[in-house]
Amino acid sequence: MTAPVDRYATGERGNASDAAGAVVLAACAIWSLVSAAGRDTRPEGVLLALLAVAAGFACGRICGTLLPVVAASAAALAALVMAVASRHGMPGATAAADITPGHTGAAAALLVLAAGSACCAAAAADRASLRITLRLLALGTACAALTLGSVFGFLAALGVLLCSLAATRMRHRLLGLAGLGLAAALMVGLSWAVAEDALPEGLAVSLEGPLTLNRVLLWEDAVELTKENPLLGVGPDRFGELSPTARESLRSDGKPHSAPLQQAAEQGVIGLALLGIAFGWLLYVLWRSPRTTAVVLTAAAALTALAALAVVGNALSFTPVTAGAGLLAGLASARRPLGQGEGQGEDVGAGAGISANAD
């Protein structure tokens, strides 16, 4: 009698996470319009990013239910090809410049998503030879980041692969998800501390080299704009007009190259909080997922690596990246195909104990 209860529990978990996601995405869209009201702003980029996440998530749910391994493998190959082919310009950018400094970061973000998708496919595959092949694909995507000149992208993609290997030995996902969420929060806090010049002098100098002085100055402008307009921000896509550093920079894309700081400057602390809630929702979806813990933690590691790239770049300003993030979350939270057990031997969230006690 456990199978019907398993299906019921899985459906309840899926409905709860889907409803929460609809509320979160709707709140993000509404607040972007509220912060844009009465000012010469352009909220279209934010709305397009939210639409891309929702569309990618829905597509991932459908494809992940029908063909989980094939869909994740195809997503990995598509992201790899797009990243390598678009090193001189990526479609779907919301930045104003023709070729912006953020394209390398966006390509690195796609490679991180490709590595995550390949590792998710490997975790879901039955044959050992296929698992090895898919993990070699993930390693290849990490090496591809070096050809694009992104050492941070290489380290992020390699970290996803290592986390995927470690996840195969983990039985409980909650601790891993909490750790990844904490890591993302620490990255955001560190970027804010750099912008506030609140770090010890030695650490600040060591970070200024990899980040570049121009980026640090952009972050400082973002913090100043946040302090001047803490509630509503200056309005979506207005950072470039109001930032002295952005106006004086050659070939500037009008962005601070940090998604949290851009959100705070343009949509205030409420917008920043909504961005954090949206990331938390993705982790919540994965916690409630009926997929195995290995698949869940692999996807969470890839999304956390993407968040780290977004903290120090403008990767989320590119539609393929936001759509890919939603796609990966959808693939990792899709229901299992009919005939497969739900989370056998795995911790699948708060409702996992229902089936165990059903008899």
Is residue 341 over pLDDT 70? no
To which H or E segment does residue 294 belong? helix 293-311
Is residue 89 over pLDDT 80? no
Is residue 94 over pLDDT 80? no
Count other C-beta atoms under 10 Å from residue 107's C-beta: 31
Exposed/middle/buried for 88, CB within 10 Å: 0-12, 13-18, 19+? exposed
Per-residue pLDDT tens over the stretch 290-304: 999 999 999 999 999
Q: Which structure tokens are listed for 93?
A: 């950018």
Q: How far is CA 138 from the centre of its chain?
A: 17
Percent of the chain with pLDDT over 90: 61
- CA dist 237 and 239 (Å) reads 6
User: Which residues make beta-bridge pairs with 318?
Assistant: 93
Mean pLDDT, residues 140-161:
90
Read off the amino acid at residue 20.
Answer: A
Exposed/middle/buried for 277, CB within 10 Å: 0-12, 13-18, 19+? middle
Residue that the structure tokens 């704009």 belong to: 225
Confidence grade of residue 39 (pLDDT, cut at 50, 70, 90): confident
- CA dist 230 and 241 (Å) reads 18
Count other C-beta atoms under 10 Å from residue 4's C-beta: 10
- CA dist 164 and 119 (Å) reads 6
The larger pLDDT score, comparing residue 345 to residue 286, is at 286
Short-list 350, 254, 321, 263, CA closest to 86: 321
Question: How long is the chain?
Answer: 359
- CA dist 72 and 76 (Å) reads 6
Is residue 104 over pLDDT 50? yes
- CA dist 16 and 14 (Å) reads 5
Confidence grade of residue 359 (pLDDT, cut at 50, 70, 90): very low
Per-residue pLDDT tens over the stretch 21-37: 899 999 999 999 999 98
At 113 the pLDDT is 96
